[in-house]
Amino acid sequence: MRDLTLLIVDDLSAGYGGPPVIRDVTFALEPGERVAVLGPNGGGKSTLFRVLLGELTASAGTIAGPPRFAYVPQTERSRLDYPVTALDVALMGTLASRRWWLPVGRHERHRALAALDRVGLHEQADAMFGELSGGQRQRVLAARALVQDAPVFLLDEPFSGVDVTSAELLSSLLDELAAEGRGLLIATHDLDQATRWDAVLCLNGRAIAFGPPQETLTLDVLEQTYGGAIVTLPGRALGILPAHHHDD
Amino acid sequence: MHALVHPFGETFMQLALLELVFLGVVGAVVGCWILYYELAYSAESLAHALFPGLVGAALLGLPLLVGGAAGVAGAAAAVAIVRRVPTIGADTSVAVVITSLFGLGVLLALSSATPPGLDALLFGDLLGVTRNDVVASGLLAAVVGVLLLALYRPLLLVGFDRTTARAFGARPLLVDLALLGLIAVAIVIGVRALGNLLVLALLVGPAATARLFVQRMPRMMAMAVSVAIAVSFAGLYLSYYANVAAGAAVAAITVGVYLLAMAVRATTAAVGGPSGRAHLHRHRRRLRRRPRPSHEGA
């Protein structure tokens, strides 16, 4: 069944000209899998995504994956003063699938509206993006990724700064996408959530571990991944000291 | 009514109006992108940097577009070279090159050995545009218009978030270059009418005015075009009846309209404003949609 694997990353290293920010990263993503990418800020989660998206060139290693990914960037990066509606943003997901010089057609508009409907924002299609709540904006970005309609989704901290309703909606959307047979790579700070998914990839400059959460998230791995930021919470659950979410 | 129609009985006024309309339509749409790409100052620098190219083309009898292109290429090369001088920073190198090139252009245009009329490139000669000028502007405006339509989706995407635009199929560097190219052509169209010093008024002014009142890009572009056409008429009337320089009149009215719009916006914002009212309207709609609580026993 190896030929069905959606994404194979082998011994990948990459950086920004200096020493590599990530090295020795190896993992595979199968259809229907939700893989959490864990690591501290600066651990290389966003760098890994940038290499996969083709924005950065790998200095070593190989990537075998689909030609395009569906991508949900961190919502903090979006401009709030920009003259676009939720629908305009969702329609941006059609750029690669329809020749760039053509205006959007009825088919694209229909797809974008369906995607907004799926994230519960059909009514807000004409609302200005900057006037939506943080959670709603994140859902619009998710709708844009749905419009991209790719076999693999990359989500960069989709739950950070999101209200409870939006978080629940996004969480069940991820489950649905996995059930459709798509592969999901989700950068997150939420260990608890990661334990409910299919695999975890722990990054801290290099790949610390990769595998099913129950077997992989040992105290040793967590300490190597998060260093001093790891704490034992009452009731012996493990937690991570809160971090500000910025670019890795 | 006669006072409104009368000026446009004259051919030179009709040509001036057509020239302004071509510039206004293209300039207003380009201007919306200039604002959201935060390129207003770059556009001003671009206008100055390509000036010696325009003067050179006029002296050699070549089309202004050729001179403009050569001017831009020369300026880019000069910035790249001056940047390599270790004692001059990147920022300073741009300032040094732009002022040097503009000075060179002005020197050429106003030299006593230069044939008369080239100072029009600096200050514009709106009432002196010929039929050929208008045809050339119309053709350029049509090309820029088509390119702006074609580039709408990539421009919107890159402006929204350039760091992630590649993931959605756009190339930010190419989109930036295309926009700078279109700004340069718009400047070349406008130089004949408003001159190198004032052309930016009609590129940035109408778009900035529209941004105060409308939120979505297509509507902003439509309103900016309307403002550009309105100030063109107003400027020509002012020039005709008050006997002042036409290009300067158009530029002054453009700025005046923007200041007035800001005042109106500030006043309406204080009492709810268009966007405030829109909020209220949406809120009311939401309230109406919600099932009403029953008041049994009340």
Instruction: Label residue A21 by pLDDT band (50, 70, 90).
Output: very high
Residue B168 to residue A128, Cβ atoms within 8 A: no
Instruction: Label residue B278 by pLDDT band (50, 70, 90).
Output: low
pLDDT at B291: 47
Where would I find the H helices in B195-216? 199-211
| Cβ-based interface (< 8 Å): residues of B facing A | 36, 149-154, 156-157, 159-161, 163-164, 166-170, 211, 214-217, 220, 279, 282
Instruction: Label residue A86 by pLDDT band (50, 70, 90).
Output: very high
Q: Strand, helix or coil at A183? A: strand
B164: in domain: yes
Residue B166 to residue A54, Cβ atoms within 8 A: yes
CA atoms within 13 A on the CB side of B13: 16
Between B151, B169, B215, which is nearest A128 by CB? Answer: B215
**Residue A174: partners with Cβ closer than 8 Å, 6 or more residues away:** A34, A155, A158, A184, A186
Average model confidence (pLDDT) across chain A? 90
pLDDT at B295: 43
Query: Do residues A64 and A8 touch, judged by C-beta distance below 8 A?
Result: yes
Instruction: Label residue A219 by pLDDT band (50, 70, 90).
Output: confident
B293: in domain: no
- Maximal C-alpha separation, chain A: 58
pLDDT at A8: 96
Q: Chain B residues with CB inside 8 Å of A96's CB?
A: 168-169
Size of chain B, expressed as the number of residues it contains: 298
Encode pLDDT of B53-68 as tens digits. Answer: 999 998 898 888 889 8
Q: Is the pLDDT of residue A217 over 60?
A: yes
Q: Chain B residues with CB inside 8 Å of A55's CB?
A: 166-167
Encode pLDDT of B4-54 as tens digits. Answer: 888 999 999 999 999 999 999 999 999 999 999 999 988 898 899 989 999
B246: in domain: yes
Interface test with B, best of A55, A88, A92, A144 (most B CBs within 10 A): A92
pLDDT at B272: 58
B224: in domain: yes
Residue B160 to residue A85, Cβ atoms within 8 A: no
Q: Is the pLDDT of residue A244 over 70?
A: no
In B205-242, which positions are buried (b, 16+ CB within 10 angstroms) versus exposed (e)?
A: bbbbbbbbbbbebeebbbbbbebbbbbbbbbbbbbbee
B122: domain CATH number? Answer: 1.10.3470.10
Q: Is the pLDDT of residue A247 over 60?
A: no
Average pLDDT over residues B154-175: 94
Domain residue limits, chain A:
1-69+150-248, 82-149
Q: Is the pLDDT of residue A231 over 60?
A: no
Distance from CA of A78 to the nearest CA of B (A): 6
Token pair belonging to B263: 């005042």
Question: By residue range, what is the domain housing residue B74?
Answer: 2-288
What superfamily in CATH does domain A1-69+150-248 come from? Answer: P-loop containing nucleotide triphosphate hydrolases (3.40.50.300)
Distance from CA of B209 to the nearest CA of A (A): 14
How far is residue A28's CA from residue A64's CA, in Å, rounded to a whole number?
9
Residue A27: C-alpha distances to residues A11, A22, A47, A201, B216 (Å): 9, 13, 15, 8, 43
Residue A83 to residue B36, Cβ atoms within 8 A: yes
In chain A, DSSP assigns E strands to 7-14, 22-29, 34-38, 60-64, 70-72, 152-156, 183-187, 199-204, 206-211, 230-232, 238-240
ipTM surpassing 0.95: no
Encode pLDDT of A109-141 as tens digits. Answer: 999 999 999 999 999 999 999 999 999 999 999
Q: How many domains does chain B contain in total?
A: 1
Q: Is the pLDDT of residue B124 over 90?
A: no
Q: Chain B residues with CB inside 8 Å of A88's CB?
A: 156, 216-217
Helices and strands per DSSP (H, E), number in chain A: 8, 11
**Residue B225: partners with Cβ closer than 8 Å, 6 or more residues away:** B24, B25, B28, B29, B206
Encode pLDDT of A155-187 as tens digits. Answer: 999 998 899 999 999 999 999 999 999 999 999
Q: Which of A72-81, B61-70, B82-91, B142-151 has the lowest mean pLDDT?
A: B82-91
| Chains A–B, number of C-beta pairs less than 8 Å apart | 75
